[in-house]
Structure 1
Amino acid sequence: KRVTNLDIFSGKFLEDQGEGVLTMTILGGRGGMPAFGEENGGPLDIKKAKSLVQYLQSSAAAAGGAGGADGKALYAKNCAACHGDSGKSLANADLGSKDYLAKRGDVGLMEAILKGKGGMPALGGSVSQGDAQAIVDYLKKAAGGQ
């Protein structure tokens, strides 16, 4: 049964609800939606539920559903000062390398963007999860991936 007026691929909906609410809704159910969490007899643990939420968010961002986030512009504004225009300015974080990006994976790259890593500051206060995904998508495309 389809819920009317609810677009789970809408960037606005996903951003408004937030990762925590969406994850808990998937695990515990809500209204007419059944629970999919293991503790409720479903097949998903918290890690799988979070992965599902991240997939929905990245799908919305890729479709322009998160406000049409422009990964190239976001990278230029938030990352290029340290990483350089090509992403190759830091030897230990070669964002221009397809292999480096693949090794880190989308989740690892997004965590570094949002929470910081090593000497890199967290950008989570100024960059949304959708924006972080747009940056990751741009980096992969620029490096010859995707």
Structure 2
Amino acid sequence: MKKIYMILVFTLFACKSGEGTSAIPQGEPLLQYSKGPCLGRCPVYDFMVYPDGNFTYKNVRAIGPNKEIKGRLATEEMEKLTSALKSELGTPSAFKRVRDLPITKLKFDTKKYEYHASKISEGLKKVNTLIEDMVAGIVVGQ
């Protein structure tokens, strides 16, 4: 009798429906942006923007609770972001790690950038500030 109940329980939980799956397509992201840890209380998160304007924000480690936020950027935000990414980034430069500074990683259009936000070119600083402002607006809006 126990075996029958166990088989029933396994059968019920083995065939879950697609509840909770995202309707947001998860193809190749247009932009991947990650903030790494430091020795203190730095936020650690991943932010991905897709060509259709959808985004995924995943809080890896922060002062608040860990969570994942999915949504869609406004058309003007998406245009501003793509314009800045295409015109301001330039070529990736050599990177030297410094202890206790969070590492930011940005990937756009087959180019990969690794940098400390305090030691970057003016164009990359504009893009970094734009992305951080977007992320702050998304997190505060939740």
TM-score normalised by the chain length of structure 1? 0.27
Q: Which has the larger radius of gyration?
A: 2
Q: Name the TM-score, length of structure 2 as normaliser.
A: 0.27
